[in-house]
Chain A
Amino acid sequence: MTAFVLRRSLQSILVLFVMSLIVFAGVNLVGDPVDMLINPEADQQEIERVIKDLGLDRPVTEQYWYFLVNAFQGDLGKSFVFGEPALKLIVQRMPATFELALFSLLIAVVFGIPLGIYAGLKPASKVSRTIMAGSILGFSMPTFWVGIILIMFFSVHLGWLPSTGRGDVATVFGITSSIFTLDGLSHIFLPAFNLALFKLSSVIRLARAGTREIILQDYIKFARAKGLSEKRVINVHLLKNILIPIVTVIGLEFGSLIAFSTVTETVFAWPGMGKLIIEAIYNLDRPIIVAYLMIIVLIFVTLNLIVDITYSLLDPRVRIKGEG
């Protein structure tokens, strides 16, 4: 197990390294780094100073080395707009985004797995057909448009829930989050549901496909032949088997939730890093863009690592192979 974790960690570091190379190349080689990294409003003197600071007058390999060293020390440049370190700005907004993404994931899992299992157990029933039709819609509807519809219906028309911003936060067990206050919950519900819809559809599909496959297996029949209750057969024997692919996908989808939160955060004016990056792209605030990319890559690589390890914990077959 330790060897497995170690090997996967090394692989992750390698990917991280490669991605830093790509981001560096994207920013420094595709465009003119002077344009990209220096505030367009700076005067000539300032430009020269920054060129020296960033080492843009040095050979490319040396530049990359400095980029790496600086990045490793958490220095990814200063925002042109805010005049503050880019990394700090992003880290400040990270909790809001993570909170939104986690809450969405929760919605997707809590509703998606039972609905998917139901649709898999009774594929011909009307309810199941409705569930599946809903999941096709969930796949097809662009996130931003669903967001608009939610705002129109729940905020403008019914006036039940607020449509913009993050609500009050409270700290429980050292975790500061808006889900601990009523105001916070009312603010997070719409954006989280919006973000969750796409994942909900894919969790439903996965759970349904898994259920339909597993339910035909002999070990399910054997479990029933042992006299187990239908509840135990489904909650233990079936669920544990369909969870394996679902956990893998959910883990990887968490990354895409973070990516798609750019859209949801913009629609709902949610003060997270997704809204920040969209604004940075508008304002050509390159250091923020670079910092965001590096952070996102780090998140993805870490997620992949966690997923692989969880997967091996869930599926004894993989775990044993990893040991051997």
Chain B
Amino acid sequence: MPPILEVKNLQTHFFTKAGVLKAVDGVSFEIGAGEIIGLVGESGSGKSITGFSILGLVDEPGRVVGGQILFKGQDLTTLAPADMQKMRGSRIAMIFQDPMMTLNPVLRIETQMIEAIQTHDSSVGKDEARQRSRDALGLVGISSPEERMRAYPHQFSGGMRQRVSIAIAMLNRPDLIIADEPTTALDVTIQGQVIHEMQKLCKKTKTALLWITHDLAVVAGISNRICVMYAGRVVEQGPNEALIGNPMHPYTNGLLGSVPSQNRRGEPLQQIEGIVPSLLNLPVGCAFENRCGNALAECRQSAPDEVTMDDQRVLRCFNRVK
């Protein structure tokens, strides 16, 4: 089966006064139907910008300057704005990090749900749209959806609001949902519920999920494949088990070392020394070189290209962890 989404060598740059900021610089990955992909990286790694690039919602002064985003074979980067708008929310939906901020505080939940349906299909009547919204709320586990639909966002708790935004994202049965840190702002107990809920829904509806997070532990439990991003590039990607069980890139290895694990009980957690280089002024060589324990002389001179390994893994490293 062909993948739902193929991102090929995506480049999204920000043209700031201080210079060109290469937030995303040559990212490639693909997602199959019903698959869950974890896109992992620390803040500033370009993972969220990758998500917004797919939706065509990069803010000024940012622009997608290169590469392709093939959605069911159609290149989204060349799509007219009006066609892209039709795509958003119907075929590709998005869920944001802070549920307190994603729902408009002055509009009823009902209004915000019905408009999402009617904007894509004006033939749907108000009653039918309301009916579908109510069902969607029920599906994500909101009790007495009938009454709750009349409420305003501030009358919900954080976890409930995130369920509402998930319900909104699911309304038009999209083929792909981009979830940008959907559980980061939630309490740990609610986090678990929401993750479980989303996994279940996606399995049921065959929706593909691009899960963007800084927390490797969150996606380790649910995703089919994981992409690790660093300074605007994917440094390592591969099937979940391979990548978690046998990280090859020193950065992935460092990330895993900083997560508490049962296997290394009693050992001190590692941390990655140093900071991410400025995206305005990236080195010629590997961007991770200055923090890397495995760095070689050649890492300074040129950046490693992507190399596909036998276990379907793609790696950018001259001196991988063995």
Contact = CB atoms under 8 A, between A and B. Distances in A.
Given A224-B57, A320-B154, A219 B119 contact: no
A225 B105 CA distance: 17
A222 B102 contact: yes
A317 B151 CA distance: 11
Nearest to B56: A224
A232 B119 contact: yes
A240 B104 contact: yes
Nearest to A241: B106
Contacts of A226: 88-89, 93, 115-116, 119, 168
A218 B101 contact: yes
A314 B152 CA distance: 12
Contact of A228 (B89, B94, B96): B89
Contacts of B97: 218
Nearest to A317: B154
Give the size range of B's interface with the partner. Answer: 20 to 34
Contacts of B28: none
Interface string B294-310: 00000000000000000
A315 interface: yes
B120 interface: yes
Nearest to B103: A219
A155 B120 CA distance: 53
B269 interface: no
Interface string A201-225: 0000000000000000111011111
B120 A218 contact: no
B179 to A, nearest CB: 11
A317 B107 CA distance: 11
A217 B86 CA distance: 22
A240 B115 CA distance: 15
A243 to B, nearest CB: 9
A3 to B, nearest CB: 19
A218 B96 CA distance: 8
B7 to A, nearest CB: 18
A159 B119 CA distance: 50
A316 interface: yes
A317 to B, nearest CB: 5
A221 B155 CA distance: 21
B89 A240 contact: no
B55 A225 contact: yes
B240 interface: no
B96 A222 contact: yes
A229 interface: yes
B152 A316 contact: yes
Given A227-B88, A232-B115, A244-B106, A219 B101 contact: yes
B68 interface: no
B87 interface: yes
B57 A316 contact: no
Interface pairs A-B: 5 shortest CB-CB: A227-B89, A218-B101, A226-B89, A227-B88, A225-B94
Interface of A: 217-219, 221-229, 232, 236-237, 240-241, 244, 314-317, 320
